[in-house]
Every structure is written in C-alpha cells, then in structure tokens.
Amino acid sequence: MASVKTNTSKKKSLQHMTLQKKDALTGYMFIAPALISFIVFVMYPVIASFVISGFDWGILTAPRFIGIENYKTLFKDPIFIESLKNTFTWVILYVPVSILVSLIVALAMDMPLRGIGFFRTMFYLPVMTPMVVCALLFVWIYNKEFGVLNYILSFLNISPIGWLSDRNISLISIALMSVWKHSGYNMLILLSALQGIPESLYEAAALDGITPWRKLINIKLPLIMPSMYFVVLTSVIDAFQVFTEVFIMTKGGPGYSTHTVSYYLFANAFEYGKMGYACAMSVVMFFIILAVTLIQDRIMNKNIQYDS
C-alpha cells in the first residue's frame, strides 16, 4: 500500500511540474551519462588527489596526515625540479614544432590534389596506432648500434648517435617521435578548419589580387584561429602530461634527462609507494597547467574571430 501511495504522489509531482522544469529535467537526463562519468572519473580523482597530497600514504600503509610536508619536500627534491625543468623544456620544444608540422601538413593536405585522401590517411595513421607501439618502433629506429636512423646516417659518414642514450638529445629524440605520432591529429583539426573556409572568400581574395603568402597570413591563418586555439591549448595540456613515450623509450634516462613530472609522479605513486607525494606533484601540475591555460586564454581568445 505504501508503495502505491508514493507512486501516485510522484506522478502528481511530475504533473505539477512546470513545462520549464520538465524541459530542464529532460536536459539533465541527457547530460547525465557524461556528467556522472565526469564526476566519478575526473572530479572525484582530482579532489581526492588534493586531499591525498596532505598525507603520507603509500596505498598499502595507513595514511598519516602531514599537512604541507609533501609540498615542502617537493620543492627541495632535485629530481622533481629536474623533472619540472624537463617538462617545461618538453612543452617549449614539442608544442611549437608539433603545431607547425601539423599546420604545414594541413595546408598541404588542403590542396585539391588527386589521391589526397590517401595522403591524409597516411598522415593520420600514426594517430590511430597505439602510442606504445609507436614508441617501441622508435626505440628500434633510434637504436645506436643497429637502428635504421644511424644506418642511414652512416652513408653520410656520420658516426652513430645515441639518440636515446645521449642525455643531451634524448628528450629531443622523444619529442620528434611524438611529433610524428601526434601531428596527424592536430592536422586533421586544422584541415577541417581550412576546409570550412568558404570558397567564396578565396575568390573574393583572388579578385582583390592576393598573393599566396598574403592569403595564408591574412585569410587562412586568421580564419583557422579558433581551431588553432583549441589545438594549442590541448597540445600544451597534453604536453605537460607527457608520460607514455618516456616510460617506454627511456624510463626517464639517461640520468634524469628525460624525467618528466608525469613519469616521476608515476614512479612515486606505483613504484616507490609514495602516493601522497605523487598526489602533491599532480596538484602542482594541476596549478601549473591551469595557470598556463589561463594565460593562453587571455592572449589568444582576444584575437579570435569565432563566426565565419
């Protein structure tokens, strides 16, 4: 009987809802799957890592609250400082090159050539290949003794280079691999932006007497800026979190030359049993990425035309 009662009252309340509320409810129902997974898989871990960063905790041991001790240790930890430095180097190295390559390829792929679909696929192929596979592939390509890269260079009488074993270039080598791996994705976004530019704009420009260079500078680039904004933003965020490449290709070495924050964080969390310390790192990274993103937003958003 009780259940019957609640049922009717529920029904009633639904009937009594205003149309606007009903619409709102429908809307929430639609976003619920995304919202719930966002809360469970993003919000909760983020908040949890903020909390955990205040503890001395290694998953297996009982957590012990230590306040900001982890943060104090963090900024005295030379390996963390080194990792931070490497991560910034990576971002500065990788992002511009990656985006430049993506842009150049996108511009080339935008040309109305025969069989262009084939080339577009080729450039996108690395994106669809798992990072682990790509990284392992390049471990062999970069191998100092019998890697294909050094083999090719041997014809130019260049003596073997330790692409991954020389600490001065190992980060660059990984970055190049990563550019090859990822540029297809950004290429696709920029390409679709380029293809979204109405043909009539080019025609108007042709009548205005535009040169190819001015066309690039004055028409194409400004009009793909919204996509470029997205590409830069996501690339920077991704770059700050570089992990898999390093994990597979160098394990952070030689020395600490390819230690990135994400790699060091992983090692601390799952190998050294220092989850709390790792969380403190992730919190620091969170704020660094947030700050960088906000700065970028300030700089770029002002100059962007969204409606075309």
Instruction: Looking at residues 241 to 280 of the shown chain, list those that interact with another protein (rule: CB under 8 A).
Output: 241, 243-244, 247-256, 258-259, 262, 266-267, 270-273
Q: Which residue, 124 or 264, is less far from another protein as judged by CB? A: 264
**Contacts by 295-302, CB closer than 8 A, 24 or more apart:** 296/232, 296/233, 296/236, 297/233, 300/225, 300/229, 300/232, 300/233, 301/229
d(CA 107, CA 97): 15
Q: Residue 7 Cβ, how far from another protein at the closest point, in Å? A: 37
Cα–Cα distance measured from residue 148 to residue 141, given in angstroms and rounded to the nearest whole number? 5
Contact between 21 and another protein by CB under 8 A: the answer reads no
Choose one: 185-193, 199-207, 229-237, 292-300; the region binding another protein (CB under 8 A).
Answer: 199-207
Give just the sign of the alpha carbon dihedral 21, 22, 28, 31. negative
Instruction: Establish if 219 lies at the interface with another protein (CB under 8 A).
Output: yes
- Can residue 301 be called a binding residue for another protein (CB under 8 A)? no
For 302, the token pair is: 């002002």
In our burial notation (b when 16+ CB lie closer than 10 A, e otherwise), range 249-286 reads bbebeeebbbbbbbbbbbbbbeeeebbbbbbbbbbbbe
Which of 4, 145, 212, 302 is close enough to bind another protein by CB under 8 A? 145
Helix (H, G, I), strand (E, B) or coil at 187: helix
Q: Which is nearer to another protein, 105 or 138 (CB)?
A: 138
Closest approach of Cβ 294 to another protein, in Å? 22
Residue 158 sits in the site that holds another protein (CB under 8 A): no
Q: How far is the CB of 254 from another protein (least distance, A)?
A: 4
Nearer to another protein, 85 or 144 (CB): 144
Q: Which of residues 80-119 bind another protein (CB under 8 A)?
A: none
Q: Cβ 75 to another protein, closest distance in Å?
A: 14
Residue 124 or 247 with smaller CB distance to another protein:
247
Calculated CA dihedral for residues 145, 147, 153, 159, nearest 10 degrees: -20
Q: Computed from CA positions of residues 243, 123, 151, 147, in that sequence, does the dihedral angle turn out positive or negative? A: positive
Q: What DSSP line would sit under 11-58, residue for residue?
A: HHHHHHS-HHHHHHHHHHHHHHHHHHHHIIIIIHHHHHHHHHTTEE--
Candidates 5-13, 116-124, 178-186, 215-223; binding stretch for another protein (CB under 8 A) = 215-223
Please identify which residue in 156, 207, 212, 213 interacts with another protein, judged by CB under 8 A. Answer: 207
Residues 56-85 that bind another protein (CB under 8 A): 58-61, 77-78
144 is a contact residue toward another protein (CB under 8 A): yes
**Is residue 41 a contact point for another protein (CB under 8 A)?**
yes
